[in-house]
């Protein structure tokens, strides 16, 4: 794919959507005038038929109202199309902004970052200018949580390959992805709504005896018969109103027991509509990747009914249940039709048919949102590659590895490989030379690779591993923890994993920086030897060039790399290219001179 194709596609979409919006807006203006003329025509029709029989007058009014309602329905459809087009336009405009590096106002997932994690803080997984902020296209809380979970852990080789296949397929259909996202944006699904439905599903059914079903249909016959007899002057007014009062007392004695159910299900119709739309969109797609096919199987309802049809049924029931919000309609419908009883019976039937499947529906949305987000990444970055997953531990081999959050025009890519157990790569270099960025480039791409996403590299091979890092350490005044002790706590976790023979890959940047230079060198040297002895694999960035001398004692285990700096007329020039060997050029003295320290 042409690297400029994503931007061109979005720009073409924006032009098309703006044109469609203008067309729909013009139709809505005409529809507004149409409703006005219908109202005027209906009034005139009633006026001209006033001298005729009352049936003709009523018929004229009914016809006018019917036509008006059809016009309102037509306008409602136009409004929904307009809102959908506006959401699609916003999605495309956001993608253009993101391609231009303007994504820092997007949801950043900072609330998902654990207080303690083996790499999340070091690699800027969450927060402003983070991987999460760059990747996320999920609108539901379920999808956003699942994306966070995937970024905080790794999948098996089989799961990674299945995700890659699904991502490649979904990436080809931009229209499907954007419409799926638009449906979710209309009224995003929340964990609260999922929990409320789950709690309702666990409640025992109310009025589940057959006698209540007979009453639900027999009661309206009685009330309507009484009303007709009253209109025919067979039942007197006092008796009629006494009976109506009795009907109302009986009806509301039934409704009183439904408060718990209603409190759980009230005002969730809009989110249920989102669930319906997104599930229907998944069902109607023709994707054939095994992962998506598995997702579609999991949402199927027993029998021939589709999940989206079942959700639509629930939406309609809840819409009728929400008649309670209209006090006048609520009193009339319950008094004469036992409206609440009808709805609870319908809910009982729905619950029985869908008892085992509702949790799968929310999970399916979350999974497809994550896949769709990674597919968008693949579409936006056609030069990135899908990694190969090695079955042997340990393998890491990348060609032209770059940091995903650095723009292509500013990014300097590097190739790097590390294979086998008991291997430590030591990277020395001057200040600002690129050591930390390189470590984060490896780490972030490892995280992407192990969740099934494309990586910022021409090629990339990695083993399924547990990534651990110690790069960005801060003190904690609340816990009375110094920087040095905070680092020791993190190193202890790494050492415990190494001693337990876990398949870990370790990234360390300036270890033991919180102590004096002698202790730091001694401790760092001892740690490297222990990592080699325990057959661990690590990449360590350091200013301590003396550590690089360990290669003489462990030539098979330690390999030295460096980033250097060129100096000309007291100016520093960085190429940010990884080179083999030990760094020979340092720049601290030049930097100190620039700020006025006489060195």
Provide the token pair at 286: 């023709």
For residues 443-475, one letter each, b for 16 or more C-beta atoms within 10 angstroms of the residue's C-beta and e for the rest, the string is bbbbbbbbbbbbbbbeebbbbbbebbbbbebee
User: Of 367, 459, 402, which Cα lies nearest the Cα of 167?
Assistant: 367
599 residues of the chain, pLDDT tens digit each? 566 789 999 999 999 999 999 999 999 899 889 888 888 888 888 778 777 777 787 788 888 888 888 988 888 899 999 999 999 999 999 999 999 999 999 999 999 999 889 999 999 999 999 999 999 999 999 999 999 999 999 899 999 999 999 999 999 999 999 999 999 999 999 999 999 999 999 888 889 888 999 998 999 999 999 988 988 889 888 998 999 999 999 988 998 888 888 888 888 999 999 999 999 999 998 899 999 999 998 888 776 678 899 999 999 999 888 887 777 888 888 899 999 999 999 999 999 888 878 889 999 999 999 999 999 999 999 999 999 999 888 999 999 999 999 998 899 999 999 999 999 999 998 777 789 999 999 999 999 999 999 999 999 999 999 999 998 765 554 444 567 777 788 889 999 999 999 999 999 998 887 677 788 888 889 999 999 999 999 999 998 888 989 999 999 999 999 988 776 666 667 788 999 998 876 655 655 565 555 55
362 token code pair: 């929310």
> For residue 158, what pLDDT is reported?
95
Supply the pLDDT for residue 290.
Answer: 96
Specify the long-range contacts of residues 493-497, CB closer than 8 Å, at least 24 apart. Answer: 493/118, 493/468, 494/118, 494/468, 494/470, 495/527, 495/530, 497/466, 497/468
Nearest to 140 by CA among 303, 363, 389, 357: 363
Q: Angle CA(241)–CA(245)–CA(246) in degrees, nearest 5?
A: 120
| Contact indicator for 552, 544 with CB cutoff of 8 Å | no
Cis before 94? omega within 30: no
- Name the token pair of 471: 């790069």
pLDDT at 477: 42
- Note whether 164 and 386 are within 8 A (CB): yes
Tell me whether strands 459-462 and 395-401 are parallel, antiparallel or unpaired. antiparallel
Q: Based on the number of CB atoms within 10 Å of its own CB, is 564 exposed (0-12), middle (13-18) or buried (19 or more)?
A: buried
Q: Where are the domains of the chain?
A: 1-102, 191-368, 388-594
Residues facing residue 593 across a β-bridge: none
pLDDT at residue number 413:
94
Gyration radius from the chain CA atoms: 33
591: number of Cβ within 10 Å:
15
CATH superfamily assigned to domain 388-594: P-loop containing nucleotide triphosphate hydrolases (3.40.50.300)
The pairing of strands 579-580 and 558-563 is antiparallel
Of all helices (H) and strands (E), which one includes residue 416?
Answer: strand 414-419
User: In terms of residues, how long is the chain?
Assistant: 599
The burial of 370, by beta-carbon neighbours within 10 Å (0-12 exposed, 13-18 middle, 19 or more buried), is given as: buried
Q: Give me the pLDDT at residue 592, please.
A: 56
**C-alpha–C-alpha distance, residues 555 and 576, integer Å:** 26
Among candidate residues 122, 104, 105, 106, the one with its CA nearest the CA of residue 114? 122
């Amino acid at each position: 794919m042409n690297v400029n194709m994503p931007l061109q596609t979005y720009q073409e979409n924006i032009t098309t959507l703006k044109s469609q919006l203008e067309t729909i807006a013009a139709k809505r203006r005409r529809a507004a005038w149409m409703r006005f003329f219908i109202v005027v025509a209906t009034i005139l029709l009633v006026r001209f038929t006033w001298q005729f029989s009352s049936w003709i007058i009523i018929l004229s009014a009914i016809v006018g109202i019917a036509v008006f309602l059809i016009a309102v329905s037509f306008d409602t459809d136009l409004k929904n199309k307009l809102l959908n087009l506006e959401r699609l336009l916003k999605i495309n405009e956001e993608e253009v902004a993101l391609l231009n590096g303007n994504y820092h106002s997007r949801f950043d997932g900072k609330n998902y970052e654990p207080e303690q994690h083996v790499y999340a803080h070091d690699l800027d997984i969450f927060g402003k200018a983070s991987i999460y902020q760059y990747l996320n296209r999920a609108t539901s809380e379920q999808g956003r949580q699942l994306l966070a979970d995937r970024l905080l852990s790794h999948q098996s080789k089989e799961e990674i390959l299945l995700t890659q296949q699904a991502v490649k397929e979904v990436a080809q259909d931009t229209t499907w992805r954007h419409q799926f996202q638009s449906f979710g944006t209309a009224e995003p699904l929340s964990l609260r709504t999922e929990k409320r439905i789950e709690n309702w599903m666990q409640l025992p059914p109310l009025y589940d005896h057959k006698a209540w079903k007979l009453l639900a249909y027999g009661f309206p016959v009685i009330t309507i018969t009484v009303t007709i007899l009253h209109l025919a002057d067979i039942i007197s007014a006092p008796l009629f109103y006494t009976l109506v009062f009795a009907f109302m007392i009986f009806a509301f004695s039934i409704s009183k027991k439904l408060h718990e159910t209603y409190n759980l299900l009230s005002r969730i119709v809009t989110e249920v509509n989102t669930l319906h739309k997104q599930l229907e969109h998944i069902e109607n797609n023709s994707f054939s990747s095994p992962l998506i096919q598995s997702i579609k199987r999991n949402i199927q309802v027993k029998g021939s009914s589709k999940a989206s049809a079942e959700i639509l049924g629930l939406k309609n029931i809840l819409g009728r249940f929400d008649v309670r919000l209209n006090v006048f309609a609520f009193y009339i419908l319950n008094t004469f039709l036992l409206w609440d009883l009808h709805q609870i019976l319908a809910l009982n039937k729905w619950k029985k048919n869908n008892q085992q499947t509702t949790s799968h529906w929310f999970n399916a949305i979350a999974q497809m949102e994550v896949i769709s987000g990674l597919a968008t990444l693949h579409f936006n970055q056609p030069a990135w590659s899908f990694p190969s997953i090695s079955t042997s531990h340990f393998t890491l081999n990348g060609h032209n590895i770059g940091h995903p959050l650095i723009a292509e025009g500013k990014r300097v890519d590097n190739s790097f490989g590390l294979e086998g157990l008991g291997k430590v790569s030591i990277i020395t270099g001057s200040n600002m030379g690129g050591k930390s960025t390189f470590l984060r480039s490896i780490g972030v791409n490892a995280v992407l690779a192990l969740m099934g996403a494309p990586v910022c590299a021409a090629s990339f091979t990695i083993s399924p591993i547990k990534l651990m890092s110690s790069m960005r350490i801060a003190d904690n005044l609340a816990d009375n923890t110094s920087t040095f002790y905070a680092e020791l706590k993190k190193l202890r976790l790494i050492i415990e994993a190494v001693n337990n023979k876990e398949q870990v890959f370790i990234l360390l940047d300036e270890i033991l920086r919180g102590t004096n230079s002698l202790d730091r060198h001694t401790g760092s040297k001892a740690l490297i030897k222990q990592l080699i002895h325990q057959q661990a694999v690590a990449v360590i960035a350091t200013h301590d060039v003396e550590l690089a001398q360990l290669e003489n004692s462990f030539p098979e285990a330690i390999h030295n790399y460096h980033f250097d700096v060129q100096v000309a007329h007291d100016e520093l020039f960085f190429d940010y290219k990884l080179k083999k060997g030990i760094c020979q050029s340092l720049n601290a003295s030049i930097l100190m001179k620039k700020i006025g320290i006489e060195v």
